Amino acid sequence: MEEKKTAAYRQGVLVFIGLAILTIAEFFVSAAFDGSAVLLIIIAVLKAGIIAQFFMHIYRLWRVEEEH
C-alpha cells in the first residue's frame, strides 16, 4: 500500500515536470519561431493528452472491473 502510494505521488511529480517543461518550451518556441501556430498547437495537444491520460485518467472509462 505504502509503495503504491509513493509510486502514485511520484507519477504526479513526473507528469508535472513534463508539463512544466512543455510550458516553458512553448514560451520560447513562440519567441524563436515568431508565434508559429502549428508548433504551438502541437505542444498544446501534447500537454492536453498528458493531462487527460495521467491526471484525468481517461482510460478508466473503458475499465469494467476496477472501481477507483
Partner 1 sequence: MSAVIDPKAHMEHAVGHGEHDHEPPYSVQLRANRLGLWLFCFSEIFLFGALLGARFYLWGDTRPELDQTLGLITTSVLLVSSFFMARAEAAIAHDDRKTFLRSLVMTAALGLAFLGGVVGLEWGGHLRPTDGVYGAIFFGMTGIHAIHVLSGLIFIFIVWNNGRRGHYSAERHWGVEACAVYWHYVDVAWVFFYPALYLIGRAVPL
Contact 22, 49 (CB under 8 A): no
Q: What is the CA radius of gyration of the chain?
A: 16
Q: Does 18 bind partner 1 (CB under 8 A)?
A: no
CB of 66 to partner 1, least distance (A): 8
**Closest alpha carbon to 54 in 16, 23, 5:** 16
- By CB under 8 A, name the binding residues for partner 1: 1, 4-5, 8-9, 11-13, 15-16, 19-20, 23, 26-27, 29-30, 34-37, 40-41, 43-44, 47-48, 51-52, 54-58, 60-61, 64-65, 67-68
